[in-house]
Amino acid sequence: MNTKTDKYKFQTRTIHGEKPHKNSKNALNPPIYQTSTFTFDTIDDARKVMSFESSDYVYTRGNNPTLRLLEQRVSSLEDGKAAVTFSSGMAAISSVLLSLLNSKDKIIAHQTLYGSAHSFIKSFLPKYGISAVFADLTQENTLDNLFDEDVKVVYFETPSNPTLDIIDIEKIAKIAHKHNCKVVIDNTFATPFFQKPLNFGADVVVHSATKFLNGHGDVIAGIAVSNDVDYINYLKFEYMCELGGVLNPFDAWLILRGLKTLALRMREHNKNAGLVAEFLQKQSLVKKVYYPGLKSFKGYEIAKKQMSGFGAIIGFEIDGDKNNAEKFVENLKLAKLAVSLGDSETLVEFPAAMTHFNLTDNELHKIGLSKSFIRIAVGLEDADDIINDFDRALKAINSGQ
Closer to ligand PLP at the Cβ: 101 or 312? 312
Determine the residue with CB nearest ligand PLP: 89
How crowded is residue 257: how many other Cβ atoms within 10 Å of its Cβ? 15
Contact between 84 and ligand PLP by CB under 6 A: the answer reads no
Residues contacting 327, CB < 8 A, separation 6+: 393, 396, 397, 401
Contact between 243 and ligand PLP by CB under 6 A: the answer reads no
Q: What are phi and psi of 131, to 5 degrees?
A: -100, 155
| Whether 327 is catalytic | no
| Cross-strand bridge partners of residue 59 | 37
Contact 169, 158 (CB under 8 A): yes
Query: Which of 8, 45, 56, 61 is the catalytic position?
Result: 61
| Whether 186 is catalytic | yes
Which of 70, 83, 90, 302 is the binder for ligand PLP (CB under 6 A)? Answer: 90
In the stretch 154-183, what mask flags binding to ligand PLP with x, by CB under 6 A?
---x---x----------------------
| Smallest separation, CB 387 to ligand PLP (Å) | 24
| Smallest separation, CB 222 to ligand PLP (Å) | 5
Contact between 222 and ligand PLP by CB under 6 A: the answer reads yes
In the stretch 179-218, what mask flags binding to ligand PLP with x, by CB under 6 A?
-------x-x-------------------x-x--------
Contact 303, 166 (CB under 8 A): yes
Closer to ligand PLP at the Cβ: 147 or 212? 212
Contact 87, 246 (CB under 8 A): yes
Contact 49, 56 (CB under 8 A): yes
Our CA dihedral for 263, 269, 270, 274, rounded to 10 degrees, sits at 170
Q: How far apart (Å, rounded) are the C-alpha atoms in residues 309 and 145? A: 32
In the stretch 290-329, what mask flags binding to ligand PLP with x, by CB under 6 A?
----------------------------------------
Q: How far apart (Å, rounded) are the C-alpha atoms in residues 229 and 244? A: 20
| Smallest separation, CB 313 to ligand PLP (Å) | 9
Q: How far apart (Å, rounded) are the C-alpha atoms in residues 299 and 304? A: 9
Closer to ligand PLP at the Cβ: 57 or 86? 86
Contact 115, 357 (CB under 8 A): yes
Q: Which residues are catalytic?
A: 61, 114, 186, 211
Given the rule CB under 6 A, which residues bind ligand PLP? 88-90, 114, 116-117, 157, 161, 186, 188, 208, 210, 220, 222
